[in-house]
């Protein structure tokens, strides 16, 4: 079968008609059963799926670092915060849809679930085209704005433009995964992500090592693998899910649900944007210390991403759990779910901290053999990794608020932690302490976010934000 590897396949996939007799499956009711077991079972496939998804970027970094050089390693790493900045707002809207879908699914209002899915796909498609154009057109200017070293900009620019050309496929797959999670299905996205990751690793070696395409080959490998995951998921779901029955010509854009989506998703989108922009500013702070520091920060950023995954995925699972239970009018289960999630994620956090402290050198050498880059990375891990549990607490509490539909306060907390605490602290500490001062500013911001989140949780005001109301 000939593979059509361009964004137009989106239209083709959405017109596939499901076979007669399809049934709803794999959807999990989280409002009944032991809270800890439900959340663990629901979060584990999400965690595994995101680990495989992170391997996309990690494999790119390892291969370009070992086979192309530290300039290419810095180029891939510095591209990520720009990509995240461009897509973060739309990711927030998608998370808002997950809250809506989970609450209406908990209330068994399947018609609104279907309309919410249609509305999300329509928005995602057109938004992705706009973001791709914006990023490709301004890519060179953005790298110059953040002060990326001149020897890194050409490769970073090439990587970013190719990556953004396939953004519609990235958005499509992640929107599909978000929808499935809202329906209580966290396993199906995992299966497609495993296949995509294996394909990405193979294509990375083929394009970069075999064909000698350089950093452009790494970008092509990533978008090709992401595209296959999205296309395969749509074809499969159209034939097996009754609720996810996608036909582009029959889709309905529900303005009322979109307004609700904006109300919930806009603060999440802004929150994601605050995080993304702060990443760019962090690179702006690190860039003056030279290419070695940028390369080292690019590596430890990948390690941090793995360390954060248990907290982020269990928090996402908790959000769906909270949404379904509030939709089913069972608020008493929320507190027990929070405690169970906090215990599980803290165990993960302490374990990962121990690994990062013990194996800091070997972890850095996976990406590069440059002694100075390794030394800078080890210094970062010794400073930051002991505080992963603080990050975990912050995200877990935030998961409760997002599941309830209360997204404004978490957005404000993120803004305070990043822009009032982290960025100024990193800047002023770096004046006296050098790059070590930047490293110390990171856990201090986590402490601020965790404390403010806990205080707001205790007020209980988040309970009043549910879309589904009961008398």
Place of tokens 């169970």: 340
Read off the tokens for 182. 């809202």
Please list, in sequence order, all residues whose beta carbon lies within 8 angstroms of the beta carbon of residue 30, skipping any fewer than 6 positions away.
Answer: 38, 39, 42, 106, 184, 320, 321, 324, 325
Per-residue burial over 286-298, b if 16 or more Cβ lie within 10 Å, else e, is bbebebbbbbbbb
Query: d(Cα 173, Cα 56) in Å, to the nearest integer?
Result: 14
Phi, psi dihedral angles at 334 (to 5 degrees) = -65, -45
How do the domains of the chain map onto residue ranges? 33-465
**DSSP H helix total and E strand total for the chain:** 17, 0
The CA distances from residue 28 to 11, 105, 180, 383, in Å, are 29, 10, 10, 40
- CB 353, CB 51: distance < 8 Å: no
Burial of 278 (0-12, 13-18, 19+ CB in 10 A): buried
CA atoms within 13 A on the CB side of 441: 27
Phi, psi dihedral angles at 242 (to 5 degrees) = -75, -40
CA-closest candidate to residue 69, choices 363, 294, 301 = 294
Query: d(Cα 268, Cα 406) in Å, to the nearest integer?
Result: 10
Distance of CA 89 to the CA centre of its chain: 12
Residue 17 is classified by DSSP as P
For CA atoms 200, 205, 210, 213, the dihedral sign is: positive
Question: Over its length of 471 residues, how does the chain's per-residue pLDDT go in tens digits?
Answer: 333 333 332 222 232 233 333 333 445 677 788 888 899 988 888 788 777 777 766 777 778 878 888 788 778 777 877 887 778 777 777 777 777 887 787 777 888 888 888 888 888 889 889 989 988 988 888 888 877 778 888 888 998 899 899 888 888 887 887 777 767 777 887 888 888 888 888 898 899 888 988 889 988 988 888 888 888 888 877 777 766 666 677 788 888 888 888 887 778 777 777 887 888 889 889 989 988 998 899 889 888 888 888 998 899 889 888 888 887 788 888 889 999 999 999 999 999 999 999 999 999 998 888 899 999 999 999 999 999 999 999 999 998 988 887 878 888 998 999 999 999 999 999 999 999 999 999 999 999 999 999 999 998 888 776 665 544
- CB 257, CB 100: distance < 8 Å: yes
- CB 251, CB 396: distance < 8 Å: no
């Amino acid at each position: 079968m000939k593979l059509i590897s361009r964004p137009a396949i989106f239209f083709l996939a959405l017109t596939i008609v499901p076979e007669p007799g399809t049934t709803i499956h794999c959807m999990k009711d989280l409002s009944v059963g032991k809270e800890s077991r439900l959340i663990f079972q629901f979060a584990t496939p999400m965690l595994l799926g995101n680990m495989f998804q992170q391997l996309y970027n990690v494999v790119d970094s390892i291969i370009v670092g070992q086979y192309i050089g530290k300039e290419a390693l810095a180029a891939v790493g510095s591209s990520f915060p720009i990509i995240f900045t461009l897509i973060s707002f739309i990711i927030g809207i998608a998370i808002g849809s997950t809250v809506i879908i989970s609450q209406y699914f908990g209330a068994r209002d399947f018609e609104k679930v279907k309309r919410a899915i249609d509305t999300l796909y329509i928005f995602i498609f057109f938004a992705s085209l706009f973001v791709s154009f914006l990023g490709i057109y301004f890519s060179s200017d953005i790298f110059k704005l953040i002060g990326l070293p001149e020897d890194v900009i050409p490769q970073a620019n090439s990587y970013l433009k190719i990556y953004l050309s396939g953004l519609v496929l990235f958005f499509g797959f992640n929107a599909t995964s978000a929808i499935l999670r809202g329906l209580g299905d966290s396993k199906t996205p995992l299966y497609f992500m495993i296949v995509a990751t294996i394909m990405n690793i193979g294509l990375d070696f083929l394009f970069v090592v075999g064909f000698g395409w350089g950093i452009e080959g790494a970008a092509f490998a990533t978008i090709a693998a992401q595209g296959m995951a999205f296309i395969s998921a749509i074809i499969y779901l159209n034939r097996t899910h009754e609720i996810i029955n996608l036909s582009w010509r029959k889709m309905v854009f529900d303005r009322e649900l979109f307004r609700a989506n904006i109300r919930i998703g806009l603060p999440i989108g802004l929150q994601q944007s605050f995080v993304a922009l702060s990443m760019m500013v962090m690179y702006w702070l690190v860039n003056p210390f030279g290419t070695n520091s940028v390369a080292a920060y690019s590596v430890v950023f990948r390690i941090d991403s793995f360390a954060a995954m248990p907290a982020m995925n269990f928090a996402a699972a908790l959000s769906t759990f909270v949404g379904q239970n509030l939709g089913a009018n069972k608020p008493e289960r929320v507190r027990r779910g929070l405690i169970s999630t906090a215990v599980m994620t803290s165990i993960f956090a302490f374990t990962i901290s121990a690994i990062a402290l013990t194996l800091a050198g070997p972890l850095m050498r996976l990406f590069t053999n440059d002694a100075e880059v390794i030394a800078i990375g080890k210094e970062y891990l010794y400073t930051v990794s002991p505080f992963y549990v603080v990050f975990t607490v912050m995200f877990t509490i935030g998961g409760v608020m997002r599941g309830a539909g209360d997204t404004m306060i978490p957005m404000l907390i993120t803004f305070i932690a990043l822009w009032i605490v982290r960025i100024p602290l990193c800047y002023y500490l770096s004046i006296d302490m050098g790059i070590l001062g930047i490293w110390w500013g990171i856990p201090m911001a986590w402490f601020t976010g965790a404390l403010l989140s806990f205080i707001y949780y205790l007020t209980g005001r988040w309970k009043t934000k549910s879309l589904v109301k009961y008398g």
